[in-house]
Amino acid sequence: MPFVGPEQHERAEGVVFRARLGANESVFGPSPKAIAALRDADAEIWKYADPSHHDLKAELSARLGCTPANIVFGEGIDGLLGYLVRLLVAPGDAVVTSDGAYPTFSFHVTAYGGTLHKVRYRDDAEDIAALFAKAAEVNARIVYLANPDNPMGSWHSGAAIQAALPLLPEGCVLALDEAYIEFAPEGTAPDIDIDDPRVIRFRTFSKAYGMAGARVGYAFGAADTIRAFDKIRNHFAMNRAAQAGALAALQDDNWLDGIRDKVVAARARIREIALANGLTALPSATNFVAVDCGGDGTFAKAVLQALTARGVFVRMPFVAPQNRCIRISAGTPADLDILAAELPGALADARAAVAN
């Protein structure tokens, strides 16, 4: 089930999207300082990048309160999840995730021969207790948990994750995906000892930092676990420009604060648009909002298709009952004006299509 990007939709449907609100990219872009660093680095793009990511690790470790030995960089969280599975999962090993959670992790498990065990969402959120109980039942090697969650935007407090850790079976690692942590309320990130071997955390420059196309992600955890990535990772996966841009982005705290403010405003506007159309916006701690279309997955898909035909790119969850929703990324005021103008007609088209 490959990801279908907006470009592919445009080619297939013969449309040009006027509002790109489906991929959870930051339409607000990266810091101007990051753009300048990317351009400056292009002059030396003929050189291989520093495979140790020294400068980036030094800056990040100071911010995380750990050592560079606790951090590994890779080609986005997607790539790092693949490395984690390769490190820990042998053919037949059990791995636990939520049914309908971010699918790339499951792709990796299947590719390496692991056996996936899935639990249902509870109240549109990943169910920590059920995940850990299933892990104990099947003697899992990894449990995957996204906090905040994609595709629903829901989240757990860090304290809830910390309290549940004793339930994680011995020998099992919690892969904690924190791709959206910069948008989440204070207290969402758990306070876990960096050297706790039970947990490895994943973050990215694709969301809040606006560098999705650069493919910069990192994991942090116990030094022994992180060191093992050097046995299998692609040491030259992240190019020179990406490293330079990520370092500049990381150092521009004022830009990040401004992005958070824009995302908060965009989420509020999406809620207003949903309410004006008789729909329900779910609470979100991410840069998108899941909007309940008030029907089943068939109706939500019809809404998505109608929006696509009208030049508005959105996505939706894959698994019932979460697939009653469409997922709308935070957009510029102009993007959301287009959404507001087109959604009533799209809903009418969807109702007519379902009725027929």
pLDDT of residue 13: 81
pLDDT of residue 241: 96
What are the start and end residues of each CATH 3.90.1150.10 domain in the chain? 6-29+254-355
- Assigned token pair, 217: 């992600």
Q: Say which CATH topology domain 6-29+254-355 has.
A: Aspartate Aminotransferase, domain 1 (3.90.1150)
DSSP for 203-264, written as a single string: EESSSTT--GGG--EEEEE-HHHHHHGGGTS-TT-S-HHHHHHHHHHHT-HHHHHHHHHHHH
Mean pLDDT value across residues 221-232: 97
pLDDT of residue 1: 60
Task: Give the residue carrying structure tokens 């860090």.
Answer: 158
Beta carbons of 153 and 330 less than 8 angstroms apart: no
What is the chain's alpha carbon radius of gyration, rounded to the nearest angstrom?
A: 20
Across the chain, what does the average pLDDT equal?
96
Considering only residues 100 and 6, tell me which one the structure prediction assigns the higher pLDDT: 100
Could you name the CATH architecture of 32-251? 3-Layer(aba) Sandwich (3.40)
What are the start and end residues of each CATH 3.40.640.10 domain in the chain? 32-251
Q: With pLDDT > 70 as the criterion, what percentage of the chain qualifies?
A: 99
What digits encode the pLDDT tens for the residues 265-314? 999 999 999 999 999 999 999 999 999 999 999 999 999 999 999 999 99
% helix / strand / coil in the chain, to the nearest 5? 45, 15, 40
Give the amino acid at 239: N
pLDDT of residue 5: 85
What digits encode the pLDDT tens for the residues 10-62? 898 888 999 999 999 999 999 999 999 999 999 999 999 999 999 999 999 99
